[in-house]
Structure 1
Amino acid sequence: MIKLGTIGTNWITQQFVDAVKSTGLYDVTTVYSRHIETAEQFADKNGAADSFDDLKAFFASDTFDTVYIASPNSVHFEQAKLAIEHGKNLIVEKPAFMNQKEMAEIQRLLDQHPDVLYFEAARNIHTPNFLSIQKKLGELKTVAGAEFTYSKYSSRYDKVLNGETPNVFSPKFGGGALQDLGVYTVYDAVTLFGMPEEVAYYPQLIRTGVDGKGTAILSYPEYTVTLNFSKISNSHMTSEIYGLKDLIEIDDAGEIQHVDYLDQDGTRHPLGTDSGQNPMIPEANDFARIINDPANDQNQKDYAYWRQLSVYVNKILFNLRQDAHIFFVGETE
Structure 2
Amino acid sequence: MLTLGVVGTNWITQQFVEAAAASEEYQLTSTYSRHEDTGQAFADKNGGQVFTDFDQFLRDGNAQVIYIASPNSLHAKQALAAINADKQVIVEKPLVSNPQEFAQIKAALAAHPDVRLFEAARQIHQPNFRAIRKQIAAMETLNGAMLTYMKYSSRYDDVLAGKDPNVFTTTYSGGALQDLGVYVVYDAVAWFGKPNRVHYYATPIRTGADGKGVAVFGYDNFDVTLNFGKTTNSYLPSEVYGLKDTIVMDNAAELNSVIYHAADGSTKKLSEEPDDNPMLAEVRDFAEVINNPKDPDNARHYQTWFHLSEIVNGVLYDLRRKASLVFPADSQD
TM-score range for the pair, normalised by the shorter chain length: over 0.9
Q: Which residue of 2 aligns with 1:42?
A: 42
The whole-number CA distance in structure 2 between the counterparts of 1:196 and 1:158 is 35
Does the Cα contact within 8 Å between 2:97 and 2:329 map onto a contact in 1? no
Q: Which residue of 2 aligns with 1:22?
A: 22
What is the correspondence of 1:1-333 to structure 2 with a 5 Å cutoff? 1-48=1-48, 50-61=49-60, 63-331=62-330
| Helix, strand or coil at the partner of 1:235 | coil
How high is the sequence identity, in percent, across the aligned residues?
50
The whole-number CA distance in structure 2 between the counterparts of 1:98 and 1:33 is 21
The whole-number CA distance in structure 1 between the counterparts of 2:259 and 2:102 is 36
For each residue in 1:103-133, what CA deviation from the matched residue of structure 2 results, as whole angstroms up to 9, or x when unmatched?
Answer: 0110111011111100000001111110110
The whole-number CA distance in structure 2 between the counterparts of 1:273 and 1:2 is 29
| Helix, strand or coil at the partner of 1:178 | helix
Amino acid at match of 1:41: A
The whole-number CA distance in structure 2 between the counterparts of 1:153 and 1:275 is 23
Does the Cα contact within 8 Å between 2:30 and 2:61 map onto a contact in 1? no
The whole-number CA distance in structure 2 between the counterparts of 1:331 and 1:47 is 37
Amino acid at match of 1:215: V
| Helix, strand or coil at the partner of 1:9 | coil
For each residue in 1:159-195, what CA deviation from the matched residue of structure 2 results, as whole angstroms up to 9, or x when unmatched?
Answer: 1111111111011111100000000000001111111
| Helix, strand or coil at the partner of 1:256 | coil
Does the Cα contact within 8 Å between 2:98 and 2:330 map onto a contact in 1? no
| Helix, strand or coil at the partner of 1:103 | helix
The whole-number CA distance in structure 2 between the counterparts of 1:125 and 1:303 is 12
Does the Cα contact within 8 Å between 1:197 and 1:220 map onto a contact in 2? yes
Question: TM-score w.r.t. structure 2 length?
Answer: 0.98
Cα RMSD after superposing both structures: 1.1
- How big is the shift at 1:38? 1.9
Question: TM-score w.r.t. structure 1 length?
Answer: 0.98
Number of residues paired by the alignment? 332
For each residue in 1:252-296, what CA deviation from the matched residue of structure 2 results, as whole angstroms up to 9, or x when unmatched?
Answer: 111111100011243321112133511000001110110010010
The whole-number CA distance in structure 1 between the counterparts of 2:177 and 2:35 is 29
Unpaired stretches in structure 2, ≥5 consecutive residues: none
Does the Cα contact within 8 Å between 2:5 and 2:61 map onto a contact in 1? no
Q: Which runs of 4+ in 1 moved over 4 A?
A: none
Does the Cα contact within 8 Å between 2:173 and 2:329 map onto a contact in 1? no
The whole-number CA distance in structure 1 between the counterparts of 2:245 and 2:66 is 43
For each residue in 1:186-230, what CA deviation from the matched residue of structure 2 results, as whole angstroms up to 9, or x when unmatched?
Answer: 000111111111111000011110100001111111111111101
Does the Cα contact within 8 Å between 1:257 and 1:276 map onto a contact in 2? no
Greater shift, 265-274 or 228-237, is seen at 265-274
| Helix, strand or coil at the partner of 2:138 | coil
